[in-house]
Amino acid sequence: MSEQDASRGMMFGGVFGRGGAEAGDQAWLRAMLDVEAALARALERAGLAPAGAGAAVTKAAVPENFEVAALAAHTGNPVPALSRALMKQVPRTAAGAVHRGATSQDIVDTAVMLMAARALEVIMADIAAAARAAAGLAVQHRATIMIGRTLLQQAVPVTFGLVAAGWLAALDDARAGLARVRADRLAVQFGGAAGTLASLGDAGPRVAALLAEELGLPLPVLPWHTGRLRMVELAGALAGAAAVLGKIARDVTLLSQSEVGEVHEGPGGPADPPGGGRGGGGPLRRGGSSAVPQKQNPVAAVAVLGCTKRIPGLLATVAAAAEQEYQRAAGAWHAEWETLADLLSLTGSAASWAAELLGGLTVDAARMSTNLAAAKGLPLAEHVTSLLADTLGPAAAHDLVAEAGARAVSAGLPLRDVLLGLPQSAERLEAAGITAEQIESALDPAGYLGSAAVFVDAAVAAHQQTPEGGDGAG
DSSP letter at 360 equals: T
- Residues 310, 224: Cα–Cα separation, whole Å: 28
Q: How far apart are CA 103 and CA 79, in angstroms?
A: 9
Supply the residues annotated as catalytic: 289, 328
The set of long-range contacts for 157-161, using a CB threshold of 8 Å and a minimum separation of 24, is 157/372, 157/379, 157/380, 157/445, 157/448, 157/449, 158/449, 158/452, 159/449, 159/452, 159/453, 159/456, 160/262, 160/363, 160/365, 160/368, 161/137, 161/452, 161/453, 161/456
Q: How many C-alpha atoms does 264 have within 13 Å on its Cβ side? A: 15
For residues 263, 267, 268 and 273, what is the CA-based torsion angle, rounded to 10 degrees?
A: 150
How far is Cα of residue 39 from the mean position of the Cα atoms in its chain?
33
Query: In sequence order, what are the beta bridge partners of 146?
Result: 158
Nearest to 63 by CA among 26, 22, 116: 26
What backbone phi and psi angles, to 5 degrees, belong to 413?
-105, 155
368: left (phi over 0), alpha (psi -120 to 50) or beta: alpha
153 burial (CB, 10 Å; 0-12 / 13-18 / 19+) is exposed
Q: Report how far Cα 144 is from the mean position of its chain's Cα atoms.
A: 27
The Cβ-side half-sphere exposure at 220, using a 13 Å CA radius, reads 20
- d(CA 97, CA 421) in angstroms, rounded, equals 91
Contact of 304 with 353, CB cutoff 8 Å: yes
Gap between the Cα atoms of 39 and 109, Å rounded = 14
With 0-12 CB in 10 A as exposed, 13-18 as middle and 19+ as buried, what is 454?
exposed
CA distance 188 to 165: 38
Q: Where are the alpha helices (DSSP H) in 364-393?
A: 365-374, 381-392
